[in-house]
Amino acid sequence: MKRSVKTALLAIFLLGVMIPATSAPAAVPSTYSGKTSARALDLSLPALNVNPTLAAQFKGLSLGVTFLDVTSAPSASGFAGAQCEFLPQGASPGGPLPCTTTSMEKSSVSGANQSDGDNAQKCAGAPVNVSNVVILDTVCGKSFSSSPGGALLATNDATVAQAKLSLDLTGLNAAIESSKDTVVTTVQGVVTSVFSAIPAAVPLTPSQKDALKSAIGQLLDSIKQGAKAGAIKAGASSSSITTAGDTITLESIGAVAAVGLLGLQDPLTDGLIIIEVTPSKAKTVWNDATGVVTGSADPAVATLKVRDLIDQVPGSDYISVVLAPTTLNNLLAPLKGTLLETTLELATVSVSPPGKSVTASSSGVNIHALKGIGASGGTTAACGTCDGGIILRLASANVSFTGADRLTEPVPLPATGGRNWVFYTIMAVLAAGAAGLFFVAQRLRRTSP
């Protein structure tokens, strides 16, 4: 009996303590959705028009492709494909993508405390020969998504160690031979411009100019004999989301290390032109406490290196110029209308102002090189339509994020109205019950024989 009395009193006490308590305001999590994508490289080769068979086989390449879609559900869906056929700009991982499955991974989570994928790279056996046009070294993809405690954490990395373009340039022989002097003079002009862009440059002496002309002539002869068209050293592209406290960061990085063109053995080390490119980055940071997303983007910075054919700078194999738009235009202008016409668009970034919806993108570096090769008007020394060549889109990254204010149920001012009537009501009910039971007990006693 004593035990039951204690239990009853404890229950009543707890009930009494709970009644005047205020209900804690319930926070409703914020809602958001975001998308991010990155590419290390998009490559298409109109130059292959000189070889219709190859042109029909080679579909172009998109290397180092990553996507990540996230929502506050929470959900994350990631994709990492190291090697894909050329993907248009609007491609999304919603449907099947023409990517090589041996270097592709996907992961997705829906709901809290889930995980999918792992941190191990999935790599295709190297080298990968794409239609005898591009030889890829190690290509790997990795995708991992998780949602510990509802906080999203996902990484998608795609890497391509190196891609070598195995273009057969012998088709150029006739064009080069027919107007070799013109081509050599043009290239000499470009190289001279680069040399003159060196800080404290000393103008070339007549003998140096002759040496340069001779060296370029030799290089063109080498091309006729089967020089390498180009090689690309790719970095890892990635799309990721991290959650730390009230901050959700969605980031994409598109990375290409270097592009070498027109080399004798390895264009990345002996190419006439080497373009080094830093990674482009795009990022959004959502602050869950303030309900504001801010974006940022770092452009890829390109450095043009031209082979120092005449040892203009003693001890250096290359002359380097950090590219600025005006420098670029000046340098490449002499090539316009020639077989070697090349245009190079430097990275641009766009970031919308902080708010509820932000897009950040870094376009990377776009190169359209050697436009006269495989041009629709035919490969001639003078480029008419200039729609052939090698088209490279390097290091692009995009992020978009839309969030809505964290919703909270209205928080009341402090509760200062103890519900004393509740206690009195309970007291009355209990007292009535006690009286009733007492009455019953009395009746029982009276009816005892």
Partner 1 sequence: MQFWAVILGSRRHRRIAAASITSLSAILLLAALWFGAYPFYTDLRANAKQSDLKQAFGSKEGRTDFEQGRVEEGAPLTRLVVPSLSVDTIVVEGTSLKALAAGAGHYKGTPLPGDPGNVGIAGHRTMNGKPFGQLDRLKPGDFVVLITPFAKHTYKVMPAFDGHANPWVTRADDWTVVAPSNESYLTLTTCHPKGSSRQRLVARAALVGTEPA
Helical residues (DSSP H) of 129-284, grouped into ranges: 173-178, 180-196, 206-224, 267-270
Query: Which range in 18-26, 226-234, 257-265, 385-393 contacts partner 1 by CB under 8 A?
Result: 18-26
- 10 forms part of the interface with partner 1 (CB under 8 A): no
Helix, strand, or coil (residue 445):
helix
Which of residues 3, 18, 21, 199 is near partner 1 by CB under 8 A?
21
Helix, strand, or coil (residue 180):
helix
- 18 forms part of the interface with partner 1 (CB under 8 A): no
CA 60 to chain centroid, in Å, comes to 19
Cβ proximity to partner 1, 23 vs 119, nearer residue: 23
Cβ proximity to partner 1, 207 vs 447, nearer residue: 447
- 412 forms part of the interface with partner 1 (CB under 8 A): yes
- 200 forms part of the interface with partner 1 (CB under 8 A): no
Provide DSSP, 131-166: TTTEEE--EEEEEEEE-GGG--EEEEEEEES-EEE-
- 322 forms part of the interface with partner 1 (CB under 8 A): no
Interactions with partner 1, residue window 428-447 (CB under 8 A) = 428-431, 433-438, 440-445, 447
Provide DSSP, 2-65: HHHHHHHHHHHHHHHHHTTPPPPPPEEPPEEEEEEEEEEEEEE-GGGGGSHHHHHH---EEEEE
Q: Report, in Å, the least distance between residue 21 CB and partner 1.
A: 6
- 28 forms part of the interface with partner 1 (CB under 8 A): no
Cβ neighbours around 183 below 10 Å, total = 24
Q: Report, in Å, the least distance between residue 7 CB and partner 1.
A: 10
Cβ proximity to partner 1, 20 vs 148, nearer residue: 20
Residue 297, strand partner residues: 282
Which of residues 3, 18, 22, 60 is near partner 1 by CB under 8 A?
22
Q: Which of 350, 386, 346 is nearest to 366 (CA)?
A: 346
Cβ proximity to partner 1, 112 vs 415, nearer residue: 415
Which of residues 149, 314, 353, 421 is near partner 1 by CB under 8 A?
421
**Cα angle 375, 170, 135; round to 5:** 85
Cβ proximity to partner 1, 202 vs 441, nearer residue: 441
Query: Which range in 142-150, 274-282, 339-347, 406-414 contacts partner 1 by CB under 8 A?
Result: 406-414
CA 415/CA 380 separation, integer angstroms = 87
Query: Which range in 77-85, 238-246, 365-373, 415-423 contacts partner 1 by CB under 8 A?
Result: 415-423
Helix, strand, or coil (residue 359):
strand
Q: Report, in Å, the least distance between residue 410 CB and partner 1.
A: 4
Q: Check: CB of residue 3 under 8 Å from CB of residue 218.
A: no
Q: Report, in Å, the least distance between residue 407 CB and partner 1.
A: 14
Residues that bind partner 1 (CB under 8 A): 1, 4-5, 8-9, 12-13, 16, 20-22, 410-424, 426-431, 433-438, 440-445, 447-449
